[in-house]
Amino acid sequence: MKRKWTTRPRPLLERFEEKYIKSGPDDCWIWIANKDKKGYGQMGGAPIKTMMKAHRIAYELAYGAIPDGVLVCHRCDVPACVNPSHLFIGTHVENMSDCVAKGRTAKGEKHGLSKLTEKEVIEIRSCSGSQRMIAKQFGVSQTLVGYIRRREYWKHV
């Protein structure tokens, strides 16, 4: 009779701790295993039924279950960080507000769809003449010129 070997799955915490570099308590603990295209660590296998973000696992291991409808956000803004002291829960709106407050949003000419430079925006604001004429001169819509002149767009300039 052939003996059937069975192995017990290793505990999640044990498997998890092999997949990041732990440094000081205030430093980022960097995930070195599988990452998604945005740089967030991910892990699967028993007892996790599907792939799960590593920072979410870190949060749950440290603090318990994550309430429905909230995100696990990074104070450090390092996607690969799994240090629980760098993580907090928040809504999508709170996460986006944190992103804006830290200056991580693309705005102005850094935005991939921007047709204007800051210099051109300043010029539009100082131009005299109709919005239609200015729009034609800069290759943008008349509506955009109005938004810029009223400082509804490009507020930071």
**Can you say how many angstroms the Cα of residue 108 is from the centroid of all Cα atoms in its chain?**
19
Least confident of 10-14, 41-45, 64-68, 74-78: 10-14
Token pair recorded at residue 112: 């991939």
Residue 18: closest CA among 50, 47, 51, 41 = 41
Mean pLDDT of the chain: 89
Give residue 12's pLDDT band: very low, low, confident or very high (50, 70, 90): confident
Q: What is the DSSP track for 85-121?
A: GGEEEE-HHHHHHHHHHTT-S--GGGSTT----HHHH
Q: What is the pLDDT of residues 50-109, one digit of tens each?
A: 789 999 999 999 999 999 999 999 999 999 999 999 999 999 999 999 888 887 777 777
**In CATH, what number does 12-101 get?**
3.90.75
| pLDDT at residue number 36 | 94
Give residue 111's pLDDT band: very low, low, confident or very high (50, 70, 90): confident
| pLDDT at residue number 100 | 83
pTM: 0.66
- Could you state, in order of their start, the residue ranges of all structural domains in the chain? 12-101, 108-149
Cβ–Cβ under 8 Å, residues 49 and 70: no
Residue 115: closest CA among 90, 145, 95 = 145
Least confident of 12-16, 40-44, 110-114, 123-127: 110-114
Residues counted in the chain: 157
| pLDDT at residue number 88 | 95
| pLDDT at residue number 8 | 64
